[in-house]
Chains A and B, each alone.
Chain A
Amino acid sequence: MSVSGTSDAAENTVSDFHGATKNLIRLKTITATLLGIIFVYPSITSLCFSTSICLGQNAAQPPIALFNPETRSEESEATQLKAHAVAMAKSIAAEYPENALIHILLGSAYFNTGQTDMAATHLRKCLALDNNILEAHEILTRIAYEKGNPEEAVRLCVEARNRGLSSPKLLNRLARAQMDLGQAEKSIQTLLEAIKVSHPLAESFYLLGQARMQARDYLEAKESFIRTTELIPDHTQAYFGLFTACQRLGQMEEAMEFRKTFVRLESIDRKDLNDRSSQTESLSGIAAVRETTARTLFGAGQIHQSQGAYTAAADLFYQSAALAKEDLKSRAALEAVHVQNKKLEEGAKAFERLVTNQPGNALNHFFLGRLKTRLGNSTQAESNYQKTVSLAPTWAAGHHALAELYMLTNQHLNQAEKLARRAVELEPNHVRYYLLSAACIKNRHLQEALKAINQALTITPDDAKYRKLRDQLEKAMAQKRNP
C-alpha cells in the first residue's frame, strides 16, 4: 500500500523541505544512542491488506483540546497524546483482532510510549497470526536489545533469518548483538551477508569495522571504516575507528590525521547536541511525543484508507498533520485521500483549518494551494503559493508550484520563469529544470529552454519526455535559424 495521488512535485518536496534539517539526521542518531530514545515505526506502506471491512465508524476520538497545547501543561499533553495513540491503535485492533498488521501498529504504539512489555505481547500476536512479517521480528529484536538482552536479540534475528526474512537492518541488529556477546567472527559473517545487497547500508560497513576491530584484524577494520566514510563522509564514529585502527597498526601519521577529523566532527556533533538541548521543545521532550503520536495516527489512517474508510482516514491524517508541524507525508496523504475520493472541497476545508491553527506553516499553504488549483480557484491558489514562498523562501517546491500555476493560467509568465529559475537554484534536479525549460518556452526564450532541458537530461538521460522536448526545441531553433 502506498499513499497515492501525490504528484512528482509533492514527492520532490520531501528531501527539499527537510534539507535544512538534513544535517541533523546523523545527529539524531547520535542523540538517540546517547539518550536511549525509543523511536520506531513500521513501514506499513510496504504491506498489503486483504480485508475489505470498513474501519471508520469506531475509531477512537481525540479529546477536544488535544491539539491545542496552549490550554494544558506539557506533562498532561504528553500523557493524553500517548494515551490517545494507544487508544487509537487499540480501537482498530479490537475491530480486526485477526489482522496481523494491526498488531504491529498497536505494538509500535506501545513501544513508542515506553510500554515494551505490551508492545512485545502484540508483536508476538502479530507473529502468531503471520510469522512472516519482518517488521514484527525487527521490533521484537529491538526490544530485546534495548532491554540489554543480546542473547534474546540474536535468537529472534536468527529465527527471522531462518524463516527467510532478512533485511540489512535486521542483519545489522544481529551483528551488533553478536558483537556484544563477544562473537566477533559470527558478527563478521553476518555483516558480510548484510553488505551483499545492492545498496548496502553505511552502518553495515561501520559495524563490520567494529567487528574486525574486535577480532583484532585492524587492517580489514580500517578498510571497512574507509568504506563507511565513502558512503557517509562525515561519519564521526568511523573516523574514531580509523584513528584507533591506524594506531594499532602503528600507522601513526595516518592515525593523527584521522584523529583530527574525528575531533573536528565530534565537536560539531557536540555543539549541535548542546544547541538542540537548549531549545525548549527539545528540552521538554514534548516534540518527540507529538512526533511519535503523529506517526501512530498516520499509520492508523493508512489502515483505514486501505479499507476504504475515507472519513476515518482523512480524520487521522488531519490529526497527524496537526501534531507533526513539519511532516509532509501526513499532509500529502490528507490531500491524496480527498483527491482519490473526489472530495476536493472537504480537503480544502481541512487544510484551511490547518492554516488557521498553524498560520506560519508553509506546508499547509502549499497543499491548500494545490487543492485550490484543482478546484479551479487560481486566485486563492496564487495567494496560498505566494504565502508559501514568503514563509519558506528557500524551499524550491513553493517557487515551483507558483511558477506552474502562472504557466497553467497563462499569467505573469515572466514571473513564472523567474520563479522556476529560483527553484532550480535552490534544488537543481531534473523536475526543476524541466519546469524552467517549459517556462522559458512560454516566454519564447528557446535558447534558455534548450539549455534547461539539456540540464534535465544530464541528470536523467533516458527520460523520453525530456528527450522529446529537446528534439522539438532543437527543431524549432533550426527552423528559426533557417526559416
Chain B
Amino acid sequence: MNIALKIGLLGSILGTIGIRAAAPVSPIQFKDVSQETGITFVHTDGGQGKQRYIVESVASGIATFDYDLDGNIDILFLNGAPLPGSPEDTPSSGNALYRNQGDWQFADKTTDAGLDDTRYHLGVCVGDYNNDGFPDVFLSNFGPDILYRNNGDGTFTDVTLTAGVSNGNQVGAGASFLDIDADGHLDLFIANYCDFSIEEHKPRQINGHPAYAGPMMYGPVPDTLYRNNGDGTFTDISHKSGIASVSGTGMGVVSSDYDHDGDIDIIVGNDAMANFVWQNDGKGKFKEAGLFSGLAYDSNGIGLGTMGVDCGDYNNDGRMDFYMTSYQKQWGILYQNEGAGFFMDATRITGAGAGTYNEVTWGLGLEDFDNDGFRDLYVACGHLQDNIRHWDDTVHFEARNILLRNIKGKNFVDVSSKSGTGMDVKLSSRGAAFDDLDNDGDIDVVVLNTREAPTILRNDSSPSNHWARIHLEGTQSNREAIGARIKVIAGELTLMDELRSGRGYQSHYGTLSHFGLGQEKKIDQVEIWWPSGKKQIFKNIPVDRVIKFTEGRAQ
C-alpha cells in the first residue's frame, strides 16, 4: 500500500468517526507561499468611488505561461483601473507580469515587457497567433481589447490596431485562441458580458442596501469571433460564422471538441441565463447547441449564474467532461459526457458540488493535484457583494476556496479542511490558474483575489506518484498545437486531455498537458490527434519529465 493510499485510508477512518486530526490527512497538501515569492501585486476593482459599477464585481482573470521560454511558468495578473467617481488622487493601477526566476522567486517585469497598460482588464488568453514560437497575449477589457505580440526578447508590442481585434468598446470576459478551421492559424473568440457602459450604470439595492447589479439589468450581447488571416491581421466573422446570431452574458470560456467529431467547439458560461455551446462544423461555421447537449442548464432546467468553465476527463472514460462554477444558492455543476454530444448533470451523484451551494464560485481547475491519475477540483470562492452580511449571514464576501479530491473517478470528497494551510486563506477570489511553478512534477495554484494580493499555493503533496507533462509543437497545425487531443495509456490508466488557450474564469493556464500517473512507472502509449487531422502514436515513454512531441516527427 503506498503512502498516499495509507494517508487517504486514515483520513477516511478519521472522517467516519468524526475526529478532526491535527495532522494532514489529505494526500493533497497546499502551502501558502505568497509572502515568500516577492510578488507585490495588489488587485483593484476600481471601485474607490463606491459607485458599484457591475464590472467591479467580476474582475479579473489571470494567466500562467512561459513568456520567455526559459522553462519556468511566469504569471500575468490582470488588474482593474479607477472608475469614474474615484477620488482624484487614486493611484493608477495596471497589470503585473512576474517572471519566474526559479526557487519560488518572481520578479516584476511588467514595464520591461511593455505590459504596463493601465486600462480596465478582465479576461486573458495566451496563444502563438503568428506561429513564431513565442506566446502572445490577448486581453479582454472593459473598453477596447488589446493584443500583445511577443517579440521573443522578453518584450511585447501592442498590435491591436494592426491585427484589428479591439472588439469595439465592450465589457469583455473570457477569451480563447482556437483554430476553428484547422488552417494552422489561431483564431480568436471573445465572450462579451453585457450591454453596460458607465453612462448606463444602474444603481441597485438589495433589501435596501446598495448592491452590484446583475448583467440582465443591462441586457445580453453577442460574442465575437475573429478569423486569423495568417498575415498578422484578423477579420471579424461573428455574423458570418453564426456566433453573433444570439446574445449572451459571457463569462468563462473554454474551447474543446466536446462532441469528439474532430473540430474545436466553444463552450461559453453565461451569467444568469443558459450557457452556449457553439458546435463547429469544422469549417468555421457554428450552431448553438446548448440545450440539446445538456450543457446549457442544470438538471432543473435553470440557466445558472455561470462564472467559470473548465473541462477534463474526470472519470477517465475517454470523454471530455465539463465543470462550471456559479452564483450563490446554485451548485457548481459537473456535466458528465455521455457520448454522442450529450451531457448529464452529474453533480449530485458524484459529490462534485460539495461546498459550493452557498458560495459564489469563480475560477476552477480540473487538475490532478496528487498525480493519482484522477482529476481533482479546485474552486475559487468569494461573494461579489462586499456588504452581503447586511442581508444574509450565511455567506461572506471573503471565503475559503474549495478543494475536492477525485476518488478513482467515482466521486469527489471535500478535503478543503485537510489539505494544508494553503486552503485556510480566506479572501474573495476570482481568477485562478494551475501550473507547475517549480517544475517538481505537481500542479501549483495561483489565485487572483479581488481588492487584495494574490494567493500562491505550493503543492506539497507526497511525491510518491509519477507524472508526465506533454509539450506539443505543431508544424502543419498551429505552433502550440492548441486543440490537439492527447491520449496517454499507462498500465491500468487511460488518460485524455486537450491543449487549449483560455479557460476557467477569464483565465489561461496549462499550456503543457499534465498527466498524473499514479504508480505507473512508464507510459505504454501516447496517441496524439493534431489539429491538422493527423494522428501519431508513440510507445514506451519514460515518466516524471516533460516530453516534447513535434507534429510529423518521430519521438
> Complex formed: what's the CA distance from A395 to B301 in Å?
35
State whether A117 and B393 are in contact (beta carbons under 8 Å apart), knowing that A237-B301, A273-B216 are contacts in the complex. Answer: yes
Q: A213, A273, A278: which contacts B299 (Cβ < 8 A)? A: A213
Q: How many whole Å from B390's CB to the nearest CB in chain A?
A: 7
Q: Tell me if A56 is interfacial: C-beta within 8 Å of chain B.
A: no
Which residues of chain A are near B273, meaning CB under 8 Å?
A: 270
Report B-chain residues with C-beta under 8 Å of the C-beta of A241.
301
| B16 interfacial by beta-carbon distance below 8 Å | no
A283 touches B358 (CB 8 A): no
Minimum C-beta distance from B317 to chain A (A):
16
Contacts of A30 in B (CB 8 A): 302
Chain-B contact segment, one of A2-10, A32-40, A470-478: A32-40
Q: Are A115 and B393 in contact (CB under 8 A)?
A: yes
Kindly state the separation between the CA atoms of A214 and B355 in the bound complex, as whole angstroms: 20
Cβ proximity bits A50-82 to B, threshold 8 Å, 1 near / 0 not: 000000000000000000000000111111011
A16 interfacial by beta-carbon distance below 8 Å: no
> Nearest chain B CB to A15's CB is how many angstroms away?
28
Q: Does A236 contact B (CB under 8 A)?
A: yes
Interface residues of B in 228-274 (CB under 8 A from A): 272-273
Stretch at the interface among B201-209, B370-378, B439-447, B500-508: B201-209
Contact of A247 among B329, B342, B394 (CB under 8 A): B342
Find the B residue at minimum CB distance from A187: B348
Supposing A181-B348, A244-B294 touch, asked if A210 and B299 sit within 8 A by C-beta, the answer is yes
CB distance from A195 to the nearest CB of B (A): 19
The answer to whether A284 and B355 touch across the interface, beta carbons within 8 angstroms, is: no
Is chain B's binding surface mostly helix, strand, loop or mixed?
Answer: loop
Given contacts A33-B329, A182-B350, contact A77 B208 (CB under 8 A): yes
- Give the chain B neighbours of A277 by CB distance below 8 A: 214, 216-217
Instruction: Assess whether A116 is interfacial by the CB under 8 Å rule.
Output: yes
Residue B356 interfacial (CB < 8 Å): yes
Question: Does B10 have its Cβ within 8 Å of any Cβ on chain A?
Answer: no
Evaluate contact between A34 and B272: CB separation under 8 angstroms: yes
- Chain B residues with Cβ below 8 Å from A243 are 291
Contact B359 A74 (CB under 8 A): no
* CB of B2 within 8 Å of the partner chain: no
For A146, list chain B residues within 8 Å (CB): 329, 358, 394
A259 to B390, CA, bound (A): 40
**B329/A79 in contact, CB under 8 A:** no
A289 beta carbon closer than 8 Å to chain B: yes
Complex CA distance for A214 and B347, rounded to whole angstroms: 10
CA distance A247 to B301 in the complex (A): 14
Task: Decide yes or no whether A226 CB sits under 8 A from chain B.
Answer: no
Known: A116-B394, A213-B299, A237-B302. A78 touches B208 (CB 8 A): yes
B351: A residues at CB distance < 8 A = 181-182
Q: Do residues A184 and B349 form an inter-chain contact, with CB atoms below 8 A?
A: yes
Determine the residue in chain B with the shortest Cβ distance to A286. Answer: B208
Interface string of A367-399 (1 = CB under 8 A from B): 000000000000000000000000000000000
Is there contact, CB below 8 Å, between B348 and A78? Answer: no
- Chain A interface helix/strand/loop/mixed: helix
**What chain B residues lie within 8 Å of A274 (beta carbons)?**
216
Rounded to whole angstroms, the CA-CA distance of A147 and B411 in the bound complex is: 22
How far, in whole Å, are A184 and B348 apart by their CA atoms in the complex?
A: 9
With A114-B392, A182-B350 given, is the CB distance from A148 to B205 under 8 Å?
A: no
Cα of A116 to Cα of B392 in the assembled complex, Å? 8
The residue in chain B whose Cβ has the minimal distance to the Cβ of A270 is B273
Residues of B within 8 A of A244 (CB): 294, 299
> Judging by beta carbons under 8 Å apart, are A36 and B328 in contact?
yes
Q: Which of B263-289 contact A (CB under 8 A)?
A: 272-273
A residues 112-168 in Cβ contact with B at 8 Å = 113-117, 143, 146-148, 150
B359 x A79 contact (CB < 8 A):
no
Contact with B along A239-252 (1 / 0, CB 8 A): 11101100100000
- Indicate which residue in A114, A240, A259 contacts B207 across the interface (CB closer than 8 Å): A114
User: Chain A residues near B301 (CB, 8 Å)?
Assistant: 236-237, 239-241, 262, 266
Which residues of A lie under 8 Å from residue B211 when comparing CB positions? 285
Q: Are A74 and B205 in contact (CB under 8 A)?
A: yes
Interface flag for A1 (CB, 8 Å): no
> Does the CB pair A36–B349 fall under 8 Å?
no
Q: Which bracket fits the contact residues of A?
A: 35 or more
- Assembled-state Cα–Cα distance A214/B298 (Å): 13
Cβ of B302 and Cβ of A33 under 8 Å apart?
Answer: yes
Instruction: State the CA gap A453–B265 with chains docked (Å).
Output: 67
Residues of B within 8 A of A143 (CB): 394
- From residue B264, how far is it (CB to closest CB) to chain A in Å? 24
Please, what's the 1-or-0 string for B170-207, where 1 marks a CB less than 8 Å from any CB in chain A?
Answer: 00000000000000000000000000000000101111
B391 contacts the other chain (Cβ, under 8 Å)?
Answer: yes
**How close is A19's CB to chain B, nearest CB, in angstroms?**
27
**A38: which B residues are within 8 A, CB to CB?**
392
Is the CB–CB distance between A240 and B297 below 8 Å?
yes
Nearest residue in A to B206 (C-beta to C-beta)? A285
Q: Say yes or no: A182 contacts B205, CB within 8 Å.
A: no
Residues of B within 8 A of A240 (CB): 297, 300-301
Q: Can you name the residue of chain A whose Cβ is closest to the Cβ of B328?
A: A36
A263 at the A/B interface (Cβ < 8 Å)? yes
Residue A337 at the chain B interface, CB threshold 8 Å: no
B154 CB, nearest partner CB in chain A, Å: 46
Q: Answer whether residue A441 sits at the interface, using C-beta atoms and an 8 A cutoff.
A: no
Q: Which residues of B contact A278 (CB under 8 A)?
A: 217
Quote the shortest CB–CB distance from A286 to chain B (angstroms). 5
Q: Nearest chain-A residue to B202 (Cβ)?
A: A283
Q: Give residues of chain A (270-329) contacting chain B, Cβ–Cβ below 8 Å.
A: 270, 273-274, 277-278, 283-286, 288-289
Q: Are B359 and A148 in contact (CB under 8 A)?
A: yes
B409 close to chain A: CB less than 8 A: no
Are A283 and B205 within 8 A (Cβ)? yes
Contacts of A35 in B (CB 8 A): 329
Which residues from chain A contact B350 at a C-beta distance below 8 Å?
Answer: 182
Bound form: Cα–Cα A117–B204 in Å: 27
Which residues from B are CB-within-8-Å of A79? 208
Contacting pair B207 A148 (CB below 8 A): no
- A236 surroundings in chain B (CB, below 8 A): 301
Question: Is A419 close to B, CB under 8 A?
Answer: no
Chain A residues 437 to 460 lying within 8 A of chain B, measured CB to CB, are none
Interface string of B389-417 (1 = CB under 8 A from A): 01111100000000000000001000000
Residue A217 interfacial (CB < 8 Å): no
Question: Are A78 and B328 in contact (CB-based, < 8 A)?
Answer: no
Confirm or deny: A420 has a beta carbon within 8 angstroms of a beta carbon on chain B: no
A234 within 8 A of partner (CB): no
**Binary contact readout B101-132 vs A (1 if CB under 8 angstroms, 0 otherwise):** 00000000000000000000000000000000
Query: What is the minimal beta-carbon distance from A75 to any residue of chain B, in angstroms?
Result: 5
Is A284 touching B204 in the complex (CB atoms < 8 A)?
Answer: yes
Chain A residues whose C-beta falls within 8 Å of the C-beta of B202 in the assembled complex: 283
**Is B529 interfacial (CB-CB < 8 Å)?**
no
Given the known interface contacts A114-B392, A116-B394, A283-B205, the answer about A182 and B216 at a Cβ–Cβ threshold of 8 Å is no
Q: Is the CB–CB distance between B207 and A285 below 8 Å? A: yes
17 sample A-B contacts, Cβ–Cβ < 8 Å, listed by A number = A33-B302, A34-B302, A38-B392, A113-B391, A114-B207, A114-B390, A116-B394, A180-B348, A236-B301, A239-B301, A262-B301, A274-B216, A277-B216, A283-B202, A284-B208, A285-B205, A286-B205
Given A114-B394, A182-B351, list of 20 further CB < 8 A pairs?
A36-B327, A38-B392, A74-B208, A114-B390, A146-B358, A146-B394, A180-B331, A182-B411, A210-B300, A240-B297, A240-B301, A259-B291, A266-B301, A277-B216, A277-B217, A283-B205, A283-B217, A284-B208, A286-B207, A286-B208
Interface residues of B (CB under 8 A from A): 202, 204-211, 214, 216-217, 272-273, 291-292, 294, 297, 299-303, 305, 327-329, 331, 342, 348-351, 353, 355-359, 390-394, 411
Nearest 3 pairs of A and B residues by beta carbon: A78-B208, A240-B301, A36-B329
Chain A contacts to B: CB under 8 angstroms? 30, 33-36, 38, 74-79, 81-82, 113-117, 143, 146-148, 150, 179-182, 184, 210, 213-214, 236-237, 239-241, 243-244, 247, 259, 262-263, 266, 270, 273-274, 277-278, 283-286, 288-289
